[in-house]
Amino acid sequence: MGETGGYFPRWQLKAEGRILPDERLPAGQTMVLGLQHVVAMFGSTVLAPIIMGFDPNVSIFFSGLSTLIFFVAVGGRVPSYLGSSFAFIGPVLAATGAVAGAPNPNIGLALGGIIAAGALYALIGVIVTLAGHRWIERLMPPVLTGAIVAAIGLVLAPIAIASASGTSPANPGGDQLSRWVAILTFAAVGAVAVYAPGMARRLPILIGGALAYLAYLVLANGLGLGAPINFAGVAAAPWFGWPHFTAPVFSASAMTLIAPVVVILVAENLGHIKAISAMTGRNLDPYLGRAFIGDGIATMFSGAFGGTGMTTYAENMGVMAVTRIFSTLVFLVAAAIAILLGFSPKFGALIQTIPGPVIGGLSIVVFGLIAATAGRIWVENKVDFGEPRNLITVGVALVLGAGNFKLAVAGFTLDGIGTATIGAIVLYHALGWASLTNHRN
C-alpha cells in the first residue's frame, strides 16, 4: 500500500494484480492506460458539446484541465476523469433557444448558467466538507435521484428524434435517409456493446458512431443518396492552434434554468464515489465534499472560457472495473492527452463533420440510457413502489419531464427538467411530512 502521510499519496510501484489509487504501474503501462481512458470518455465528451452547439475542441481541452483540477482537489486519492455532462443539454438548449446539433448563437448565456451551476456545486461541497454528507442522502434518497435522472432522459427524447429525423427549419418533415442512418447508428452501438471482443465492448459510442459515419459516407458521398460530408474545413484547419474561447454572459433567467442541474451532478458524483469505494475496498466518503468542490470549480473554469459543465464519467469507471487498475496517476496522463487534443483545430474540424443523423442515433442511445439508469438506481436500492409516496413522486416527475412542463416563477421559466427536479423533491418531502403527521395522530 502507498504511503498516505502528505496531501498527495506517495505512489508505490506495483506491476501486477489490482492497482489501488495510491499505487502505480511502470511508466509505459501508465501511458497506455491513460490513452485508453481518453478513448473511453471521448465519444460522450464530444457528443454532448455537439448537441448543445458548443465547440467540441474546447470541451475536450477543458475536460483535461478539469480532470487536473479534480485531481488536486481530492489530493490524488479518488480516481476519476471529468468530461462533458449530459445533464446540461436540456437546460442549455431551453435557455439559449438553440437547435440540437447546430452552432449555438447564444452560447454566452449558457456559459453564464454553467458558471452559476458550478458555483452552487462548489458551495454544496463546502457544506458537505463542514457538515458531512448524510444530509444529501436524506434530501435526495434513491427514489428521488432515479426520478430526476429518468426525467432528464425523457425531456431530451424529442431533441434526439428531431436530429435523427433530419428535421430543420428548411425541412420540417425530415427525410428517410436520416431516419435509416439513425437506426443503423443505434443498432451498431448495441451490436458493439453486446458482441464486440475485449475492451472494444467498453467503447460502443465511439466504435458504433464510427461505423455509422462510414456508412453515411458511402451512402451520401459515394452513392449520392444524401447531403455529402464536406471535408473542406478539415483540409483548411491547421494541425495546431489555440482553442476558440468564448466569454460568458450572465442572465438571471438562464442561470435559473441551468443551475438546478446541480442536483444531478451531486447524485452522479455521489454514485461514482460509492462505486469506486466498493471496487477498491476503501471508504472514500471523507473525500466527497472535496470531490464536489473540485467538480464545481472545474465546471466554473470550463464555463468561463466556452466549455461545457463537467461531471465524473461512468465510462472511465467501467474501464477501471475491467482492468482493476485504479491508480490516480493514470488520470494525470489522460488529462495531458486531452489537453493536447484541444490544441488541434484539425481534430476539431473533423469532429464537426459528423452527420446529423449519426448524432441523432447516438443521442437516442445516450438519452435512453440516462432514462434507463433510473431503473438500475431503483432496483439496486430496492425502492418500494408499493409505497404511495414513492409511486406518486416518481409518476409526477416522469410526466413533468416527458411533457417538458414549463412553469413561470417570479419572472423566470423552469423547463421540464427544472420542474421535475424541484417538484419531485418538494412533493416527496411534503408527502413524507404528511405521512409522519398521520402516523403520530
Please state, in angstroms and rounded to a whole number, the distance separating the CA atoms of residues 106 and 345. Answer: 22
pLDDT of residue 126: 94
Please state, in angstroms and rounded to a whole number, the distance separating the CA atoms of residues 357 and 226. Answer: 11
> What residue type is assigned to position 239 of the chain?
W
Q: Where are the alpha helices (DSSP H) in 166-287?
A: 176-195, 204-216, 232-236, 252-258, 262-280
pLDDT of residue 73: 94
Cα within 13 Å of Cα(146), Cβ side: 23
In whole numbers, what is the pLDDT of the chain averaged over residues? 81
Angle between helix 176-195 and helix 142-165 axes, rounded to 10 deg: 130
Q: pLDDT (tens digit, 9 = 90+) per residue, 163-219?
A: 788 776 666 666 788 888 888 888 998 888 788 887 676 667 778 888 898 888 888
Q: Cβ–Cβ contacts within 10 Å for residue 7, how many?
A: 9
For the chain, the maximum distance between any two Cα atoms, rounded to a whole number of angstroms, is: 75
Instruction: Work out the average pLDDT over 431-436.
Output: 69
Distance of CA 400 to the CA centre of its chain: 22
Residue 3 has pLDDT above 50, yes or no: no
Distance of CA 225 to the CA centre of its chain: 34
Please state, in angstroms and rounded to a whole number, the distance separating the CA atoms of residues 364 and 161. Answer: 7
Instruction: Work out the average pLDDT over 16-24.
Output: 81
- Residue 264 near residue 51, CB atoms below 8 Å: no
pLDDT of residue 170: 63
Phi, psi of 249 (to 5 degrees): -125, 125
Residue 436 has pLDDT above 80, yes or no: no
pLDDT of residue 125: 93
Percentage with pLDDT > 70 across the chain: 89
Phi, psi of 382 (to 5 degrees): 50, 50
- 125 versus 2: the higher-pLDDT residue is 125
Phi, psi of 402 (to 5 degrees): -60, -40
> What residue type is assigned to position 12 of the chain?
Q
Please state, in angstroms and rounded to a whole number, the distance separating the CA atoms of residues 127 and 183. Answer: 46
SS3 47: helix
Residue 31 has pLDDT above 90, yes or no: no
Please state, in angstroms and rounded to a whole number, the distance separating the CA atoms of residues 66 and 150. Answer: 26
Please state, in angstroms and rounded to a whole number, the distance separating the CA atoms of residues 70 and 237. Answer: 32
Least-confidence region, from 35-39, 174-178, 219-223, 309-313? 35-39
Contacts of 143 (CB under 8 A, 6+ apart): 378, 381, 383, 390, 393, 394, 428
Contacts of 37 (CB under 8 A, 6+ apart): 81, 316, 319, 330, 331, 334
Give the best-scoring range by mean pLDDT among 14-23, 236-245, 328-337, 409-418: 328-337
Domain boundaries, the chain: 20-436
SS3 172: coil
Please state, in angstroms and rounded to a whole number, the distance separating the CA atoms of residues 77 and 158. Answer: 40
Residue 94 has pLDDT above 60, yes or no: yes
Per-residue three-class SS string for 74-131: CCCCCCCCEEECHHHHHHHHHHHCCCCCCCCCCHHHHHHHHHHHHHHHHHHHHHHHHH
Angle between helix 262-280 and helix 416-440 axes, rounded to 10 deg: 70
- 317 versus 358: the higher-pLDDT residue is 358
Cα within 13 Å of Cα(388), Cβ side: 5
Could you tell me the three cell numbers for 315?
465510462
Q: pLDDT (tens digit, 9 = 90+) per residue, 257-269?
A: 788 788 778 877 8
pLDDT of residue 1: 45
pLDDT of residue 300: 95
- Report DSSP state, residue 265: H
> What residue type is assigned to position 344 of the chain?
S
Buried b (16+ CB within 10 A) or exposed e, 327-336: bbbbbbbbbe
Residue 274 has pLDDT above 80, yes or no: no
Buried b (16+ CB within 10 A) or exposed e, 196-213: eeeeeebbbbbbbbbbbb
Q: Cβ–Cβ contacts within 10 Å for residue 243, how many?
A: 21
Q: pLDDT (tens digit, 9 = 90+) per residue, 348-396?
A: 777 778 787 887 887 787 777 767 777 877 887 888 888 889 999 999 9
Instruction: Work out the average pLDDT over 26-31.
Output: 83
Q: pLDDT (tens digit, 9 = 90+) per residue, 105-147?
A: 888 888 999 999 999 999 999 999 998 878 877 887 888 878 8
pTM above 0.75, yes or no: no
3-state helix, strand, coil in the chain (%, to 5): 70, 5, 25
